[in-house]
Amino acid sequence: MSETMEPDITVDSRGATCPGPLMDLIGKVKQSDPGTVIELQTSDDSSKSDVPDWLDEAGHNLLEVVDQGDYWSVYVETA
Amino acid sequence: MSEHIVIVGGGTGGTVLANRLADKLGAEIDSGDVQVTMVTDSQDHVYKPIWLYVPFGKKDPADARRPVAELVDRRVDITYDRVTGIDTDDKQLSLADGPAMAYDHLTLAMGVELVPDEVPGLKEGGHHFYGEDGATELRDAMAEFTEGHLVLSVIGVPHMCPAAPVEFVLMADDWLRKRGVRDDVEITYTYPIQRAHGIQSVADWATEEFEEKDINVQTFFNADEVDPEEKVLHSMEGKELDYDLLVGIPPHTGSELVTEAGLGDGGWVDVDKHTLEATAAEDVYAIGDVADVPTSKAGSVAHYEAGTVADRIASKVRGQVPTATYEGKTVCFIEAGMDEATFVEFAYGNEPTVRPASTPVHWAKLGYNESYWLTARGLL
Ligand SMILES: Cc1cc2nc3c(=O)[nH]c(=O)nc-3n(C[C@H](O)[C@H](O)[C@H](O)COP(=O)(O)OP(=O)(O)OC[C@H]3O[C@@H](n4cnc5c(N)ncnc54)[C@H](O)[C@@H]3O)c2cc1C
């Protein structure tokens, strides 16, 4: 599952507070072609709700959220 | 051999730092043990908060400019040139017109760059008040604007002064009321995330103010294209907004020099948020807008950070262990109309309290704008 998931792009937003991680993700989605898999690394708890909410709003897919101990990997596929 | 302290940038952070260093290390500079040099690409220092008042005819862009040489202590050498490269291994800078400059301690204070081109059509279709020319053109457009849809869109964060877009719409609302045309103008404010501002308490306060003043809010709105012919703003979320007057807060980036020197992604210098020391190089600091710290891109931040870095560099030069740290202190005044304001103050990990707006705070903001020149000189 998560161990085998190979993102096309990794966005390291660890250490950034809200809304930093979400904005970093939005910036990358803007530059990506449809079907790109992006891993967002975030240590900000609120990303777990605001990222899925935005993906819903913008029509992209949330693949998986993996707890990595001191941060989360949020895997996203652009539509 | 004297120790060479170099500061890149003659804006808020660079100027306060230069003056603080001259003050702290005056004796060492006089004896020739220390040299402080500021490298800046403009003869003028620009105080950007003045631009917020230009669209309403309350200030002129000339009010925001002063010669750098008038503000910087005479013990600081000023080189007017553009830095074109940073070599942190050899500890030297390349300059556009002059020879390479070696440093022992380097502070980067280059501020941000606006990149409106990232949004197709924005330059042709939108106005802004984040630059001198933009603010003047917006003043002319506002003077003629008596009916229709005024849209202010915050395109991407971070941007300079997170409060300014909120201030602009609240001021526009009041200004249009005073001109007797507010009933003929619809105002919409858009923000990229799920609330009206990055800071929750400011978002709550602004949302209430907007509701009371009949200002529409669209959240999760990331403008990605402007159609200047049809006057439509499109978002990544598939939304569309028709406008008659568009004020877009242009996307910002840090400095290309930073990325090229391997000091941080996106042009923002990766620093320790307390010591402001670059994580990727020795004896390099960053302050102000170009530093990647989890607080606002505001002049007050640049000012407090400059104090910390001045203390740390002075300690190092004297062979002492630096102990000064920056705790994230941020102070922002927020105009809530043409004659009322509030302010917020916070530090890392704190949520600010927003007090009800009042006239005295508005006058305090205007007073601060005047006394800013003393702040830059290091006197306040
Ligand atoms: C409309 C508006 C309103 C604002 N209102 C407020 C407010 O009310 N309160 C507040 O606290 N903040 C406010 N700000 C934000 C504030 O102006 C900035 O945060 C502040 O100027 C940052 O200081 P700085 O030293 O990092 O950068 P700047 O002041 O932008 O200075 C950067 C300097 O670096 C120079 N430079 C850049 N690149 C190079 C290079 N390669 N070589 C040499 N020199 C270079 C530039 O010429 C400039 O002198 C506002 C900003 C705007 C746009």
Q: What is the pLDDT of residue B380?
A: 72
Q: Do A30 and B198 touch (CB under 8 A)?
A: no
Query: Smallest Cβ distance to A23: which of B157, B224, B238?
Result: B157
Confidence grade of residue A3 (pLDDT, cut at 50, 70, 90): low
Catalytic center residues of A = 18
Residues β-bridged to residue B193: none
CA of B170: how far to CAs of B105, B144, B219, B233, B280, in Å?
43, 19, 17, 21, 42
Low-confidence ranges of chain B (pLDDT < 70): none
Ligand 1 pocket residue status of B7, Cβ below 6 Å: no
DSSP per residue, B245-308:
EEEEE--EE--HHHHHTTS-GGG-EEB-TTT-BBSSSTTEEE-GGGEE-SS-B-HHHHHHHHHH
Q: What is the pLDDT of residue A1?
A: 47
CA distance B252 to chain A (A): 12
Give the alpha-carbon dihedral of B236, B238, B240, B245, to 10 degrees: 0
Q: Which of B46, B253, B289 to mutate to test the pocket of ligand 1 (most atoms within 8 A of CB)?
A: B289
Residue with tokens 């526009």: B172
* Token duo for residue B126: 């939108």
Residue B194 has its nearest CB partner, among A15, A30, A53, at A53
Strand partners, A77: A37, A61
Task: Flag whether residue B238 sits within 8 Å of chain A, measured between CB atoms.
Answer: yes
Q: B114 alpha carbon to ligand 1 midpoint, in Å? A: 11
Query: Pick from B47, B39, B36: which is nearest to B300 by CA?
Result: B47
Q: Kindly report, residue by residue over B69-101, the tens digit of the pLDDT.
A: 999 999 999 999 999 999 999 999 999 999 999
Nearest-Cα residue of chain A relative to residue B251: A27
Decide: B47 in ligand 1 pocket, CB within 6 A: no
* Closest atom of ligand 1 to CA, residue B330: 11
In sequence order, the 6+-apart residues with CB closer than 8 A to the CB of B193 are A19, A22, A23, A50, A54, B157, B219, B220
Which pLDDT belongs to residue A4? 59
ipTM: 0.91
Token pair in block for residue B296: 């606002």
Residue-wise over B4-41: b if at least 16 C-beta within 10 A, else e?
A: bbbbbbbbbbbbbbbbbbbebbeebbeeeebbbbbbbb
Chain B residues near residue A54 by CB distance under 8 angstroms? 193-194, 220
Would you state the pLDDT for residue B289? 98
Q: Do A59 and B224 touch (CB under 8 A)?
A: no
